């Protein structure tokens, strides 16, 4: 097995580190990326590894796209730009169909119940999570994910396919395993990508991991045997009809305001462009909401450090700060905002996931105290997300830069 080592220096949770990674990658974002993006060659892989910063918007998609187009033509950089916008597409798709997230969470609970009652399933699940299945490549990726908090995108696809079709484990537990360990773990991208591999996202379309493809695209590092020879689509219900995108309400910046700075958007400049001067700011991370199981310590550590770094950069605009931990429930949020003297709580729009679930609980409690919750949608999200009604390439034609 290829050795796995921790790589904390790969993903330092600061905007400066993300921008530095972007600068280093820019020369490779054109035809070199298009030709080599599917090759998982370890440290030599031609991918950006920008995803942890993009996931938390320490660096935004708009900034990345602008920087890439400053170095490459749209034609040369198309594959990389598409990769960036897949993240926007998944977010928009799930935002228009939030019930899929609730359905996934129910599936995780049901699968965990099975683990408690089916000894063989629990044994196989534990072996998969620990990287002790005996499947070359798969075991390495399980251990690499646990050690580094990151996997190459093609490795994620191989891993998910082997999990579902070779090991025949519940896909929800695989998606949960990823969310518990990925530094870039995103409810939309993760949930919908696993559904795509299993044939639930695009009806009947699955992804089958093949030994020859793995060997060819890993530089011969891995030669798995015994992989499934077919990938029959998992049973599932038809997609719900997309809902309208919730409107982004206006707000009066002169009103007494408290700010929620969440892990979902750590580039708050667009909020301050609207003029609010917060009386107080709460820094919100909800890693415990990612899974019913224990989350890798690296995940909350990254989120909290990124929040603290962002708060430091914007300290003169935030007022007194409070970190909103697991103990800050709906009543505590309302108490905090009322104590600050706020009549409105403003935050960047939070897409479907644990933080949005937390806000949904807090909103009526705030309202009962006469405090309005205002979710401000970025202009680029408002432009793109409504187009996530069908497949990605229709979306791409509507939003491509």
DSSP 12-80: -SSHHHHHHHHHHHGGGTTHHHHHHTT---GGG--S---HHHHHTTSS-HHHHHHHHHTTS-TTTTHHH
Token readout for 7 is 């790589």
Parts of the chain belonging to CATH 1.25.40.80? 10-96+385-399
Q: What is the pLDDT of residue 46?
A: 86
Q: What is the pLDDT of residues 153-211, one digit of tens each?
A: 999 999 999 999 999 999 999 999 999 999 999 999 999 999 999 999 998 899 999 99
Which residue(s) pair with 322 in the sheet?
Answer: 282
Alpha carbon of 218 to those of 2, 37, 39, 152, 182: distances in Å?
11, 11, 6, 11, 21
Q: How many CB atoms lie within 10 A of CB 115?
A: 18
Parts of the chain belonging to CATH 1.10.579.10? 99-217
Residue 385 per-residue DSSP state: G
Confidence of residue 326 (pLDDT cuts 50, 70, 90): low
Interatomic CA distance for residues 292 and 309, integer angstroms? 28
Token readout for 338 is 């009322």
Where do we find the tokens 């198309």?
Answer: 78
Parts of the chain belonging to CATH 3.40.50.620? 257-376
Architecture of domain 257-376: 3-Layer(aba) Sandwich (3.40)
For the chain, what percentages of helix, strand and coil (3-state, to nearest 5) are there? 55, 5, 40
Interatomic CA distance for residues 2 and 222, integer angstroms? 8
Confidence of residue 387 (pLDDT cuts 50, 70, 90): very high
CA 390 to chain centre: 20
Q: What mean pLDDT do residues 269-292 have?
A: 95
Interatomic CA distance for residues 136 and 101, integer angstroms? 32
Confidence of residue 6 (pLDDT cuts 50, 70, 90): very low
Is the CATH code 1.10.579.10 the one for domain 99-217? yes
Select from 3.40.1130.10, 2.60.40.1890, 3.30.70.270, 1.25.40.80 the CATH code of 10-96+385-399. 1.25.40.80
Element (H, E) at 257: strand 257-262
Which residue(s) pair with 374 in the sheet?
Answer: 346
- Are 131 and 138 contacting, i.e. CB atoms less than 8 angstroms apart? yes
Q: What is the pLDDT of residues 199-247, one digit of tens each?
A: 999 988 999 999 999 999 999 999 999 999 999 999 999 999 999 998 8
- Are 357 and 328 contacting, i.e. CB atoms less than 8 angstroms apart? no
Q: What is the pLDDT of residues 59-117, one digit of tens each?
A: 999 999 999 999 999 999 999 999 999 999 999 999 999 999 999 999 999 999 999 99
Q: What is the pLDDT of residue 328?
A: 82
């Amino acid at each position: 097995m290829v050795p796995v080592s921790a790589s904390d220096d790969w993903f330092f949770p600061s905007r400066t580190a993300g921008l530095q990674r972007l600068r280093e990658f820019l020369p490779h974002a054109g035809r070199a990326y298009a030709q080599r993006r599917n090759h998982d060659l370890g440290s030599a892989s031609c991918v950006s590894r920008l995803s942890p910063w993009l996931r938390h918007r320490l660096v935004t998609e708009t900034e990345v796209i602008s920087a890439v187009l400053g170095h490459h033509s749209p034609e040369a950089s198309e594959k990389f730009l598409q990769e960036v916008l897949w993240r926007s597409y998944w977010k928009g798709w799930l935002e228009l169909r939030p019930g899929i997230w609730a359905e996934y969470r129910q599936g995780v609970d049901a699968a965990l119940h099975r683990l408690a009652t089916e000894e063989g399933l629990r044994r196989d699940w534990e072996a998969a999570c620990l990287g002790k299945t005996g499947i070359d490549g798969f075991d390495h990726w399980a251990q690499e994910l646990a050690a580094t908090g990151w996997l190459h995108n093609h490795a994620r696809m191989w891993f998910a396919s082997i999990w579902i079709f070779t090991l025949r484990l519940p896909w929800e537990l695989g998606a949960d395993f990823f969310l518990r360990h990925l530094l870039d773990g995103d409810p939309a991208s993760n949930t919908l990508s696993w559904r795509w591999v299993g044939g639930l996202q695009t009806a009947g379309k699955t992804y089958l991991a093949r030994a020859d493809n793995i060997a060819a695209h890993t530089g011969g590092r891995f030669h798995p045997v015994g992989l499934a020879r077919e990938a029959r689509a998992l049973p599932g219900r038809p997609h719900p009809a997309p809902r309208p995108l919730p409107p982004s309400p206006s707000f009066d910046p002169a009103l007494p305001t408290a700010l929620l700075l969440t892990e979902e958007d750590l580039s708050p400049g667009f909020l301050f462009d609207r003029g609010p001067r917060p009386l107080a700011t709460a820094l919100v991370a909800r890693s415990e909401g990612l899974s019913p199981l224990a989350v890798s310590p690296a995940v909350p550590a990254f989120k909290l450090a990124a929040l603290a770094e962002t708060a430091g950069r914007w300290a003169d605009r935030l007022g007194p700060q409070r970190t909103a931990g697991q103990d800050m429930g709906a009543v505590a949020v309302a108490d905090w905002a009322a104590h600050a003297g706020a009549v409105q709580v403003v935050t960047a729009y939070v897409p479907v996931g644990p933080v949005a679930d937390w806000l949904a609980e807090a909103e009526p409690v705030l309202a009962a105290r006469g405090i309005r919750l205002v979710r401000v949608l970025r202009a680029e999200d408002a432009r793109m997300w409504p187009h996530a009604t069908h497949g990605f390439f229709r979306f791409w034609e509507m939003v491509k830069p």
